[in-house]
Structure 1
Amino acid sequence: MRAHPLEAVRARIADFKAVFAIPAFATYQAGNVIMTTGFWMQRIAVGWVTWELTGSEAWLGTVAFAELFPSLLTALWGGSLADKHDAPKIMFWGQIASAAVSVALALLYFTGTLMPWAMAGMMAVLGAVSGVLLPARLSMARHLAPPKLLSSALAVNSTGFNLSRFLGPALAAGLLVLGSAGLVFTVSAVGFLALSIALYRIRNVPSQTQRVPSSQPVNMVGVMRDLMHTPLILGVLMLQLAQGLLIRPASELFPAYAEVAFGRGEVGLGLLNAALGIGAIIGALLMAKAQDGRAALLQILTTSAVFALSLLVFAVTSIFWLALAVLLLHGATMSSSNIAALAYVQLEAPQDRLGRILSLYTIIFRVGPALGAFLFGITAEANGLMTTGVGFALAGLLATGGLALFILKPRNQYQ
């Protein structure tokens, strides 16, 4: 038993080496880490500037909502594009548009005209672009890596994303201490352009997984009809929605936690996000590959339950260093649950409907946290951070238990 975590790490590292031996995947990851580092720097700056301008938890939730909610309007189109065009080409143009948003934020900041409503507007534009891109982003691993390495490729994506979640807040905190949020926005624009260069270099690389075109139009009715025939995938998606609504939104309120709950300011904000990111990296490295579909489902449910429990502990503690330790576990279970869920969906979904199902995954992944952050912020404004965190964590735990009963329900055949 003691050797199991070490063996899991060794196996994961071996798979990582195999994935990175694919030149196009290595090129993409190099650009992606640069981009996501800038992305997290910008996320920290947006939250902190909003807090400085308003001092309001409700405004923090509103700005987070503005960034994430527009995905609802654009994700289905993004799913249609992902079914018709190669992911790198879609991603390329999306990075150009995202860089333009970061440049606009920098200009507004340097000219002293960045007001809360303008911040929300810019985040809404970025959210709309992200909604179009996310189905393609989710399918990049399938495009660049063979099916047998899909889980490892997704783990590499998660590790890079969360390594950036550690580096980005640390860099952003240093710049914010110097009062240079505008420079943070500028660096973020450079990051988006760096990924666009990497994507341009791999634009003609053939997909490792054959695309199965669908003759049916992409619309919400069609997506839901598909899911009725795949109840286990529906259950996994509903679990992701519950996480987004009830557990993940707490991280959007980190500026308020850093200032109000712990009195640590910009440095505390950076440390909270860094702890979450380090934990997520640990989760990606330690996550063992499930042997079959049912084992994967148990893995998803177990990590989701611990994800909720760790939020409960974080919400009640007033000891900063204990909060950081809890966030390591919180981040680990967040990443391992998300990686396992995404791998399960991509491997088990009918391939001719995968684009449509990923478009719904996109909506859930983006809109759930958006609505959750808005509700978390409003509730925290009225009832305080501790009461709100405890309530959301308990609701997330109950939702996980209820969905576990649905997902593990005996069925005649494995769908």
Structure 2
Amino acid sequence: MTVSTAKPFRSLAVRNFRLFAGGQVVSTAGTWLMIVAQDWLVLGLTNGSPTALGAVTALQFAPMMLLTLYGGRLADRHDKRTLLTWANVLSGILALALGLSVLADVVRLWHVGFFALALGVVNSVEVPARVSFVSEMVGPELLPNASALSAAYFSIARVAGPGLAGVLIGTFGTGWVMTANAVSYLATVVALRRMRPGELHRPRGAVGRARIVDGLRHVAERPDLVLPLGLLAVVSLAGLNFHVTLPLLASAVFHANVGAFGLLTSAFAAGSLLAALLTTVRTGRPAARTVVVSGVAFGLLEVAAGWAPGFVSAMVLLALTGFASIYFVQAVNHRVQLGSEPHYRGRVMALYTLIVQGSTPLGALGAGWLAEQYGTRSAIVVGGLISLATACGAAVFARRRTELPVAVGPAGG
């Protein structure tokens, strides 16, 4: 490894990725403005109902369960740059329509649910295309660094977006915030159209019909892919429900306003950002041990965050939990993406996306129900305990299969 390859921002030397990252920073910040605005709108329309918030979140992510594998098939068969362009255009139109309905004071809860569902359909194509497109922009050697930087700019947006949303919603209202998000999608569209297609690292060889079942078979035949994806599935379903629990933690537990909600979300995102920056130094495929240990750490920290006695301690523990969550998710991402064959990557990463985001409807409904019945803290603590138990079980299972001591390919932390 040369000194240059150890630089944390080395992927930004690639023009196409530099354009894409710049557009994504703006667009993702807008998305987090939208998330906070939508959550606060739902709570305002329903007098703070956790069930309604969970239902709207479930509607937005339900299409991920049904359509993401098909989206991965599209990503392997068609030009990812074109797919991403149209997906961002449609997302902008949907955000604009919802924002205008709020500004016109005609919005109802079912309107929010409808637009959330429609956006979920678009995301079921956009997300697997975007995740697998990273390797085409930078190539396999820079993939761990570029993937980590992608998580970093996403975390930067999560830090800036919620705090800014709290100020903007209090000043201008949710409608204008949603409209601002609609405009932010233009940054990604412009970046995509300014790329040089000839500099992309597209897989060689025809993929034929690019059947979904072939991608699933590829994963099933690889125990080193099944273990991290299985652990990710449980952690995503039970533990990664902060889009539901954080607004409830602010409003129901600490009886705070939208600004405090933004602070809690930003604290979580700040920890996520630090983890993303740390993983930029990764130069190879992480070992299975890295995946399992980071899963254990996440479960422990989420349990602690659920029992935080005060607002300040909650911010600190949420920052640590955010760190552990991104470190774990990135470890799974890198282990799976670098372990899969390039011509299957769209479908494999669609399965990864299905697990991360497609599990959200069930997780959101479960977290909302637990919060409604037993309180917000219970939803956080139970999610952490399930994640912790599953990670410990994965460690035992992996040791019996002699998976943990073995690193396939160049391994990194």
Instruction: Tell me whether 1:188 sits opposite 2:188 in the alignment.
Output: no
Task: For 1:173-252, list aligned pairs within 5 A.
Answer: 173-202=166-195, 204-219=197-212, 221-252=213-244
Q: Give yes or no for contact 1:250–1:376 (8 Å, CA) kept in 2.
A: no
Amino acid at match of 2:237: L
Determine if contact 1:287/1:336 at 8 Å carries over to the other structure. yes
In structure 2, what is the Cα distance between the partners aligned to 1:84 and 1:243? 31
* 2:102 maps to 1:137: no
Matched, 1:399 2:390: yes
Structure 2, unmatched stretches of 5+, are 409-413
| RMSD across aligned positions (CA) | 2.1
Match of 1:6 in 2: none
**Alignment match, 1:37:** 29
User: Are 1:283 and 2:275 matched, yes or no?
Assistant: yes
In the TM superposition, what is the alpha-carbon distance from 1:361 to its structure 2 partner? 1.3
Instruction: Tell me how far 1:90 sits from its aligned partner.
Output: 1.2
Among 6, 12, 15, the alignment partner of 2:7 is: 15
Equivalent in the alignment of 2:288:
297
User: Which 10-residue stretch deviates more, 55-64 or 344-353?
Assistant: 344-353
How far residue 36 of structure 1 moved from its aligned partner, in angstroms, is: 0.0
Alpha-carbon distance in structure 2 between the residues aligned to 1:88 and 1:291: 26
After TM superposition, the structure 1 stretch with the greater mean CA deviation from structure 2, 365-374 or 269-278, is 365-374
Aligned to 2:90: 97
Residues 48, 13 of structure 1: alpha-carbon distance in 2 compared, 3 angstrom cutoff? farther
Distance 1:13 1:379, change over 3 A: farther
Q: State the alpha-carbon separation in 1 of the partners of residues 242 and 21 from structure 2.
A: 28
- Rounded to whole Å, the distance in 2 between the matches of 1:247 and 1:260 is 19
Question: Which of 37, 61, 66 is the matching residue for 1:73?
Answer: 66
Cα 1:348/1:172, change in 2 over 3 Å = same
Q: 2:304 aligns with which of 310, 313, 319?
A: 313
CA 1:381–1:226 in structure 2 vs 1: closer, same or farther (change >3 Å)? same
Q: May I ask how many residue pairs the two structures share in their alignment?
A: 403
The structural deviation recorded for 1:315 is 0.8
Contact 1:73/1:128, CA 8 A, preserved across alignment: no
What residue number does 1:271 align with? Answer: 263
- CA, structure 1 residues 29+62, in 2 after alignment: closer, same or farther (shift >3 Å)? same
How far off its partner does 1:61 sit? 0.8
How far apart, in 2, do the equivalents of 1:335 and 1:315 lie?
18
Which residue number in structure 1 is paired with residue 411 of structure 2? none
CA distance in 1, matches of 2:196, 2:69: 23
Unmatched 5+ residue regions in structure 1? 1-10
CA contact (8 A) 1:131 1:366 kept: no
1:225-261 deviation per Cα after TM superposition (whole angstroms, max 9, x unaligned): 3222011201111111112111111332211111111
> Residue type of the partner of 2:375?
G
Structure 1 position 209, deviation (Å):
4.9
- Comparing 90-99 with 247-256, which one deviates more in the overlay? 247-256
**Alignment TM-score, normalising by the size of structure 2:** 0.92
Q: Which residue of 2 aligns with 1:331?
A: 322
Deviation at 1:408, TM superposition (A): 3.9
Question: Which moved further from structure 2: 31-40 or 275-284?
Answer: 275-284
Are the structure 2 counterparts of residues 211 and 411 from structure 1 closer, same or farther at C-alpha, using a change threshold of 3 Å?
A: farther
CA distance in 1, matches of 2:60, 2:294: 27
